[in-house]
Structure 1
Amino acid sequence: MSGSFFCMHPSEGSWNPYFYAYYYKQWKDYEMAYHEHRWTEIMYVIQGGCTIDVKCKSGHRELITLRKGEFIVLDADVSHRLIVEPEVACRMLNVEFGFEEGETSFDSSVKSLLAEEKALSDFVKSPFEYMVLSDPDEVYYVLKSLVLELDRQPVGQKNTMTDLLFLQLFVRIARLREELVLTREPSAEGYVKRCILYMHQNYDRNIQIKDLAAEVRLHPGYLQRIFKISTSQTMTEYLTGIRMEKAKMLLQQTDIPIYELCDYVGVSSSQYFHTLFKKHTGFTPSIYREQTERRSW
């Protein structure tokens, strides 16, 4: 038996997941005693917030605040405790699992994935005592499906569906970790800057997310995440802002007919341009131009 995610490195033998506990729990005004498990634990915050007090093996303590949509992965034998303040209730989903030795279809699937999926291969080569990730709802839905499936089967009995869901969970956590690592590197900022430059140079065209991703050679989903982290806006919101600022300039400084402006700023129709412009500025294009001319006069 092994309790750690990191036994799943190909050189460590053949392993299959075994689930020790899985449950929903709402906590309030609660302080848990320090404890540790011989297996891996995932603590996912569904609502509210909490603090996880981790005692690292070096003796150093870490206090980690978790909010809705965040989760912590605690490796085996890491001492920790849960703290929930009186004024903040915390609803949590916990899954605790380890691994049994043995060759099965699950083991062969893991080895195939490790060969194909760089994020997964990097994950099992980078041991940690704990890891905190923010989830765009991908991990939660897999966790929830896994727990429901475990509830349907007799205790201790394995089935193919739980193996498939665990594989999906494993991949999603590894990909989130990879994205976290990349966004902390200078290269992530560089990708965002190149993306913004492309928007400024091509705002008059029908730009789609896939075009931006192709320009910087990144997966569209990953690019959208690092862009939002960097700018606090989606790529669509940022591009619309560029287009509307350009439209304001054209209304102020040219005599281009308003019905033609949509073609100058890459908006699909004149009606949609009116809608976007009013949402962005609070004025229709015609009123904005009239006010600009009046101020100029």
Structure 2
Amino acid sequence: MPELNGSLFQPQLLEGEYSPHFFAYYYKQWNHYTMPYHQHNSTEIMYVISGSCAVDVRSGSGSEERFILKRSELIMLDANVPHRLIVEEDNACRMLNVEFGFADYAGVAPSLSRLAKEEESLAELLRNPFTSLVLADPEEVLHVLKALVLELDQHGKDGGSMVRLLFAELLLRISRLHRERLLASQQPSQLYVRRAIEFLHQNYDHSIQVKEIAAAVNVHTGYLHRIFKKQTGRTLTDYLNMLRMEKAKMLLAQSEIPVADIADYVGISSRQYFHLLFKKYASMTPVEYRNSIERYSWSDITRFSDER
């Protein structure tokens, strides 16, 4: 089997069983600094926590490309790609860097090939080589990077199962951001609808106005109405009501929360309106729904286990 290097784009990573191997991981505050061109046999992630900087990348043909990175942006560089960091005078840039390659599979976390089989966005990322990739992060990647580096600091670069699990999450989040960027460049309306749906799932538990959703997605209210209905077959209000009723069903089925309090848990201030809305979607009242299903408590689960 060919020896692995530090690149993400090796065919054997999608065919065999490999785990990450970390070479460097550190925070660094850069002030008015120009780094010489250099390269290393590892994949590198440079994440801008605050400030701004430039990263120059040199291709195999010798041409150069400059990327300006701002807060909450990252650049991923493939192995053996010449690059340098530049922080202009009177400027500062705080970064978090991680450099990694791959080694024989170890631990309980899924290997890269298994992850790619389950997550198409990761498979797409690994099958389409690049020298550098710049992504804007809604701080999903940052949280994982911080947890990963803390775990590496505390347990060493071979770090155990938690390190490998965090690395798996890191690659999945980066691959999804990459796919989202491609989608935005090709079909921006799909991205707006996806973000609207994410906003609804994160905020259904309190009063939401359509203008708030449009502001979160950064599009005009009327335009969001049109594209949402076209792509989902539902209006924003109908989707929100459906989401709230599905959450209500789950709470009625799997919790001991009093029926009278469920309305508040799903963001509906009027219990009477909640009752009418639930009956419309479920064809029965909340009380009838709770009484109609078989619910299990922890004591039931323990009893069933003992009976086995």
Q: Indicate whether the TM-score tops 0.5.
A: yes
User: What's the counterpart of residue 160 of structure 2?
Assistant: 159
Aligned twin of 2:43? 40
Match of 1:234 in 2: 216
Aligned residue type for 2:215: Q
Q: Secondary structure at the match of 1:104?
A: coil
In the alignment, the residues of structure 2 paired with residue 73 and residue 191 of structure 1 have an alpha-carbon distance, to the nearest angstrom, of 22
**Residue deviations 1:48-69, cap 9 Å, x none?**
0000011111211001100000
Query: Which whole-Å CA distance do the structure 2 matches of 1:116 and 1:4 have between them?
Result: 21
Unaligned runs of 5+ in 1: 196-207, 214-218, 221-230, 244-267, 270-297
**Rounded Cα–Cα distance in structure 2 between residues aligned with 1:33 and 1:83:** 9
Matched with 1:110 is 112
Classify the secondary structure of the residue corresponding to 1:176.
Answer: helix
Distance in 2, Cα, partners of 1:149 & 1:190: 36
* Structure 1 residue 191: Cα displacement: 6.6
Change (3 A) 1:54 1:31: same
Q: Partner residue of 2:82?
A: 79
Residue 241 of structure 1, CA deviation: 11
Residue 188 of structure 1 aligns to which amino acid in structure 2? P
How much does 1:236 deviate? 8.9
1:53, 1:81 within 8 Å by CA — same for their partners in 2?
Answer: yes
Cα distance in 2 between the residues matched to 1:66 and 1:17: 26
Change (3 A) 1:210 1:189: closer
**Residue 25 to residue 211, structure 1, CA distance change in 2 (3 Å):** closer
Deviations 1:22-43 (A, max 9, x none): 1111111100100001101111
Taking the TM superposition and a 5 Å limit, the aligned residue runs for 1:1-297 are 1-7=4-10, 10-100=13-103, 102-105=104-107, 108-154=110-156, 156-185=157-186, 187-189=187-189, 192=192, 209-210=196-197, 233-235=215-217, 238-239=220-221
Residues 1:87 and 1:112: Cα distance change in structure 2 (over 3 Å): same
Report the CA distance between 1:98 and its aligned residue: 0.8
Q: Which residue pairs with 2:257 in the alignment?
A: none
The 8 Å contact of residues 9 and 124 in structure 1, kept in 2 or not, is answered as no
Q: Which runs of 5+ in 2 are unaligned?
A: 203-212, 226-267, 270-308
Give the deviation of 1:114 after TM superposition: 1.2
**TM-score normalised according to structure 1 size:** 0.64
Question: When the two structures are superposed, what TM-score results if normalisation uses the length of structure 2?
Answer: 0.62
Q: Separation in 1 of the partners of 2:68 and 2:40? A: 21
CA gap of 1:177–1:61, structure 2 versus 1, over 3 A, is same
SS at match of 2:89: coil
Aligned counterparts of 1:50 and 1:191: Cα–Cα separation in 2: 28
Structure 2 residue identity aligned to 1:163: R
Shift of 1:122: 0.5
Change (3 A) 1:191 1:85: closer
SS in 2 for 1:89: strand
The one-letter code of the counterpart of 2:32 is D
SS in 2 for 1:88: strand
Q: Is the 8 A contact 1:15 1:107 kept in 2?
A: no
CA contact (8 A) 1:14 1:107 kept: no
- Tell me the residue number matched to 2:239: none
Task: Say if 1:211 and 1:51 are closer, same or farther in 2 by CA, change over 3 A.
Answer: closer
Q: Tell me if the contact between 2:107 and 2:160 (Cα under 8 Å) persists in the aligned partners.
A: no
CA contact (8 A) 2:19 2:111 kept: no
Could you tell me which amino acid in structure 2 is paired with residue 131 of structure 1?
L
2:129 is paired with a residue whose SS is coil
In the TM superposition, residue 108 of structure 1 has moved relative to its aligned partner by 4.3
For 1:167 and 1:16, locate their aligned partners in 2 and report how far apart those are by CA, in whole Å: 9
Identical-pair percentage: 43
The SS at the match of 1:120 is helix
Q: Which residue of 2 aligns with 1:284?
A: none
